Chain A
Amino acid sequence: MKLTKTAGVVAAAATLLLLAGCGTTQNQAGTGSSDDKLTIGVSFDLVNDIRSAELASIKDAAKKQGDTVEFVSADQDAQKQASQIQDLVQTKKVDALIVIAANNDQIASSIALANSAKVPFIAIDRAVSGGDVTFQVTGDPVADGKLAAKEALAVAGDNPTIIQLVGALTDQNAIGRRDGFTDGVKAAGKTVAAEVPTDWDPSKALDGTSNALQANPKVNTIFIPSDYLLPSVQSALQAAGKLKPVGDPGHITIVTIDGDPNGCKAIKDKTIDSDIVTPVDSFGEQAVAAAHTAHGGKSVSPAEAQVAGFALNQANASTTLSKTWGCNTK
């Protein structure tokens, strides 16, 4: 009787171990989705229209492939993102990850986790490093900044007095756009009169612009590194009595980047001169395609893609508005 009881316990334990082993195998390979239909884990914040557009592009591309998207919002918190990615990989057992890193340096541990679980790690919008990144597709912030400088100087004339807003100094896109714009201005033999740090905060952008206008009364050009801050700058100009439409003698040249709905409207309303459109709507398609390639066991080549923006300005608005993602959102 005792021997039978012992044998029963051993058999039960062996069964449990066998089942756990099967589960582990499945963990490493993903959820066991059918070959063509993936479960894609997506992690980034939703703090602005660009993020919403990027998520929409991923969902559209996934839908075409019959894939499922598991989206988690990281709320710009690197620690939260790391935990969420861990859940996506180990609990939800996604077949691939598409991530916009909350912090370019702290994402390395998540990349390592994905690597060890053999889950393709795909980065979009912000370049990441540290680990085996399956594929990354980003804008080209430096090129966008230089194009913005070119657009600004083309309108501003020979003696521009330039105010340059700067995004969060921890954001590579913000740094790239700033550097590109500054280089573009310097290459033309001009200088920036004032730099306004904003931390991507609308209130800081409003107050900083007001202060910069105060210190530089002859300003005739403003560079805004994201359409997200455009309403703040327009409010500051309005409060100073300097918000004039394009064509008005008192108009201040405004160049911005992103091509979001605010920027689109501002071009149509002729309150800004140029908006460098970042084609974020293509990121989703490329990312999902890379996920399928990698899931099929092939390497993605090239592993990096940079998509430079294009200028939407008053001269080409009639033909370019339709190509701008912010003009096509619902």
Chain B
Amino acid sequence: MTQTRRPANAVSRFVIEYPLIPIGVALIVLFSLLQPHFFSVTNLVNILTQSSVLLIAATGMTYVVLTAGIDLSVGAMMFLAAALVAALLTAGVPPVLAVILAPLLTIILGAFNGTLVAKAGVPAMLVTLATLQVFRGIGGHLTEQQSIVLPAEVRFLGTGDVLGIPRAVIVAAIVVAVGSYVLRRTRFGRHVQALGSNPNGAWNAGLPVSGLLIAVYSVAGLCAGIAATVQIGRLGAVQPTLDLGFELTVVTAVVLGGTSLNGGQGTVFGTAIGAIILTVVENGLVLSGASPYLFDIVRGAVLLAAIVGAGIPKQLAAFLTRRGGARAPVTS
């Protein structure tokens, strides 16, 4: 058996485990050079605020992807949650109650997805592709495909601040922190990773596979509902195209953050870095005054560079391992 050693210092280990961080730093430096307003406290807070919805939704998606699943209905769930809030307000439900009910609804929607995946044996992509249509259709019916401006009373999660920190950022930070803790420090989190790493092994070990699947999709649903309440708080309106295609951005953040689509490998913290990097790119492009026609090209190129760059430390670690110089870190 080849004996390996861990990299000597903590910084090296950290970079190898979270290779996107130096990529993020490089992007920040680049955009700071292009636009002096980029590297300011105001703009950095701006970036975190703009990341908040994606951070929350992507946290939930991380759990799903860790089981080698996927939830393409996230955007539609968020839209339906927003539509429900609007409908409840119209029906005279108090604003705070309407906002609380939204995530409760999306937990049920997520559990529905999970039950179909677990019990019907249908691939998650197909299940959630179908429920995407259903959820969006129900939301469209509730809103009658109209734009609905929301009253200030429902916007409390997306506006205002506490001690100078935007509420949206606080909510996102709490969700990311709790999501990360549960995944790394609880038995449930370990079971989720075990299921993704080796489904047969998990089954043979007596893990409640069906229950785990229902639970992770419920978590994704919960996060989608919370993300929706923050989003409508920021936007102040529910519009028919709200979150159309957003699921792809969510999955991108998760994958960019190092979670494997094959399951079993990834972290919520990595997802958070991925989400923030995506937002940094959008923010930097607007601030730098780039032509709108270049946005897609630049965005894609930066993502490609980030993905390739993120792979280099792992390749280096593998190389050093083969040469007996370092041990590849175990990501959890």
- Asked if A49 contacts B147 (CB within 8 A), the reply is yes
Docked-complex contact A214 and B37, CB < 8 angstroms: yes
In the bound complex, residues from chain B placing their C-beta under 8 Å from that of A232 are 235, 237
A207 touches B282 (CB 8 A): yes
A172-203 vs B, CB cutoff 8 Å, 1 = contact: the mask equals: 00000000000000000000001111001111
Q: Taking A197-B295, A215-B287 as contacts, is the C-beta distance between A231 and B50 under 8 angstroms?
A: no
A194-B50 in contact (CB<8A)? no
How far apart sit A203 and B158, CA to CA, in the bound complex (Å)? 13
A204 to B231, CA, bound (A): 12
Decide yes or no whether B12 CB sits under 8 A from chain A.
no
Q: How far, in Å, is B162 (CB) from chain A's closest CB?
A: 15
B292 an interface residue at 8 Å Cβ cutoff?
A: yes
Which of B147, B234, B246 interacts with A206 by CB under 8 Å? B234
- List the A residue with the shortest CB-CB distance to B288: A215
Residues B287 and A214 in contact, CB atoms below 8 Å apart: yes
List, in ascending order, chain B residues with CB within 8 A of A207's CB.
50, 279, 282-283
A37 at the interface (CB under 8 A from B): no
In the complex, B43 has a CB within 8 A of chain A: yes
Contact size range, B? 35 or more
Instruction: Say yes or no: A46 contacts B236, CB within 8 Å.
Output: no
Main secondary structure on A side of the interface with B: helix
A196 CB, nearest partner CB in chain B, Å: 6
Contacts known (A194-B286, A207-B282); A202 close to B241, Cβ less than 8 A = yes
Interface residues of A in 247-263 (CB under 8 A from B): 260-262
A-chain residues with CB within 8 Å of residue B234 when the two chains form the complex: 206, 235, 239
Contact A202 B235 (CB under 8 A): yes
A231/B286 in contact, CB under 8 A: no
Q: Is the CB of B53 within 8 A of A203?
A: yes
Determine the chain B residues whose CB is within 8 A of the CB of A169 once the complex forms.
292-293
Asked whether any CB of chain B lies closer than 8 Å to the CB of A18, the reply is: no
Complex-state Cα separation, A216 to B283, whole angstroms:
13
How many of A's residues come within 8 Å of B, CB to CB? 36
A328 within 8 A of B: no
What's the Cα separation between A211 and B43 when bound, in Å?
A: 8
Given A211-B46, A214-B42, answer yes or no on A202-B237 (Cβ-Cβ < 8 Å). Answer: yes
Q: Contact between B240 and A48 (Cβ–Cβ < 8 Å)?
A: yes
Contact in complex: A214, B235 (CB < 8 Å)? no
Q: Which residues of the partner chain B approach A211 to less than 8 Å between Cβ atoms?
A: 43, 46, 50, 282-283, 286-287
> Could you tell me the distance between the alpha carbons of A261 and B148 in the complex, rounded to whole angstroms?
10
Query: How many Å lie between the Cα of A173 and that of B289 in the bound state?
Result: 23
Q: Mark each residue of chain A from 197 to 233: 1 if its CB lies under 8 Å from any CB of chain B, else 0.
A: 1001111101110111011000000000000100110
What are the residues of chain A within 8 A of B260 when measuring CB–CB? none
Q: Is the CB of B241 within 8 A of A47?
A: yes
Assembled-state Cα–Cα distance A306/B192 (Å) = 59
* 7 A/B residue pairs, CB under 8 Å, sorted by A: A47-B241, A49-B146, A52-B145, A207-B50, A215-B35, A215-B287, A238-B159
B-side residues, CB < 8 A to A, are 35, 37, 40, 42-43, 46, 49-50, 53, 140, 144-147, 149, 159, 231, 234-237, 239-244, 246, 279, 282-283, 286-287, 289, 291-293, 295
List residues of chain A with CB under 8 Å of any chain B CB: 46-49, 51-52, 166, 169, 194-197, 200-204, 206-208, 210-212, 214-215, 228, 231-232, 234-235, 238-239, 260-262, 265
User: Which 10 A-B pairs rank lowest in CB-CB distance, beginning with the nearest?
Assistant: A197-B292, A231-B237, A211-B286, A46-B145, A215-B287, A207-B50, A47-B240, A235-B236, A202-B239, A215-B37
